[in-house]
């Protein structure tokens, strides 16, 4: 019998609880939203339920396609059981179209299509500003991961992108960019964390309107509706 234990960690959009099995933990998806490193806070009603369902859908699809990840099963509307991993201390951002910090850094207009996929490794930063960009030499010098692990993560990020872009195209959503986190599970690198409108930029393919956290960040309105819309389309309820 699964027993849910103490709080392990609380992040922007989730809480992580221990269980009576040292190999698993429980993710609880919150409605709270945060942007600009905590400077802007709010609530997106129903977001927790949407993100839990979106993660289940995407992670199960990735498992089917051979991308190992932490998802085990959904427990209820807001909680899922996942493998308990040691999180690798840098994230990988995957970009197909220019937006956000990349637009600021390279000066290309938002919406510019990138001919080849851009992968960025970033350290998590508590500061107000963009997450510090690091390359493989920084990661090795800081002993954050081995070269083999970095290569595995980048290859997995490309594969996730291929799968996600082609799936989302079918439901008329453009995948602009997203952020991935990885973990070590019994010595092996697997995909962890979440893939949701909280950690990705999803645009309606017809109108190019954001269907993601940018609606909250930029006060665009209809935030709840945008999250629900992504889930409806995934469930074939468009
Ligand atoms: O802000 P930036 O353009 O670098 O973000 C790229 C992608 O990573 C966006 O989809 C954004 O929502 C996501 N991201 C995230 N968590 C952060 C920073 C960015 O999920 N701390």
pLDDT digits (tens, 9 = 90+) for 140-191: 999 999 999 999 999 999 999 999 999 999 999 999 999 999 999 999 999 9
Burial of 14 (0-12, 13-18, 19+ CB in 10 A): buried
Based on the number of CB atoms within 10 Å of its own CB, is 180 exposed (0-12), middle (13-18) or buried (19 or more)?
buried
Residues 98 and 109: their CA atoms lie apart, in Å, by: 7
Measured in Å, residue 101 CA sits from the centre of ligand 1 at 8
Cα distance between residue 147 and residue 159, in whole Å: 18
How many CB atoms neighbour CB 67 within 10 A? 18
Over residues 87-110, the pLDDT tens digits come to: 999 999 999 999 999 999 999 999
CA 26 to chain centre: 17
Ligand 1 pocket test: pick from 105, 107, 177, 215 the residue with the most ligand atoms within 8 Å of its Cβ. 177
- In contact, 237 and 59? CB cutoff 8 Å: no
Does any ligand 1 atom lie closer than 6 A to the CB of residue 98? no
- Cα(238)–Cα(58) distance, integer angstroms: 17
51 pocket-lining for ligand 1 (C-beta < 6 Å): no
Distance between CA 236 and CA 29 in Å, rounded?
23
178 ligand 1 Cβ < 6 A: yes
Q: Whole-angstrom Cα distance, residue 57 to residue 7? A: 25
Determine the longest span between alpha carbons in the chain, in angstroms: 54
Say yes or no to pLDDT of 126 above 70.
Answer: no
pLDDT in tens, 189-220: 999 999 999 999 999 999 999 999 999 999 99
For residue 17, the SS3 value is: strand
Other CB atoms within 10 A of residue 163 CB: 17
Going by pLDDT thresholds of 50, 70 and 90, the confidence category of residue 37 is: confident
- The closest-lying atom of ligand 1 relative to the alpha carbon of residue 125 is 21
93 alpha-carbon distance from chain centroid = 9
């Amino acid at each position: 019998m699964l027993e849910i234990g103490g709080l392990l960690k609380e992040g922007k959009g989730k809480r992580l609880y221990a269980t009576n099995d040292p190999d698993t933990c429980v993710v609880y998806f919150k409605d709270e939203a945060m942007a600009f490193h905590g400077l802007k806070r709010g609530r997106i009603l129903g977001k927790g339920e949407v993100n839990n369902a979106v993660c289940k859908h995407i992670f199960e699809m990735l498992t089917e396609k051979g991308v190992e990840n932490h998802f085990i099963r959904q427990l209820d509307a807001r909680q899922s059981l996942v493998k308990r991993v040691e999180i690798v201390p840098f994230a990988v951002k995957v970009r197909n179209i220019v937006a956000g910090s990349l637009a600021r850094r390279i000066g290309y207009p938002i919406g510019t299509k990138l001919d080849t996929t851009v992968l960025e490794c970033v350290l998590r930063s508590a500061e107000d500003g963009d997450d510090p960009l690091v390359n493989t030499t920084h990661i090795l010098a800081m002993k954050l991961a081995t070269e083999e692990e970095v290569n595995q993560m980048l290859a997995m990020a490309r594969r996730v992108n291929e799968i996600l872009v082609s799936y989302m195209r079918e439901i008329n959503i453009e995948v602009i960019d997203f952020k991935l986190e990885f973990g070590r599970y019994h010595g092996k690198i697997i995909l962890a964390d979440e893939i949701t409108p909280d950690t990705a930029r999803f645009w309606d393919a017809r109108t190019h309107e954001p269907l993601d956290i940018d609606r909250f960040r930029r006060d665009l309105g209809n935030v709840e509706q945008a999250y629900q819309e992504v889930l409806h389309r995934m469930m074939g309820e468009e």
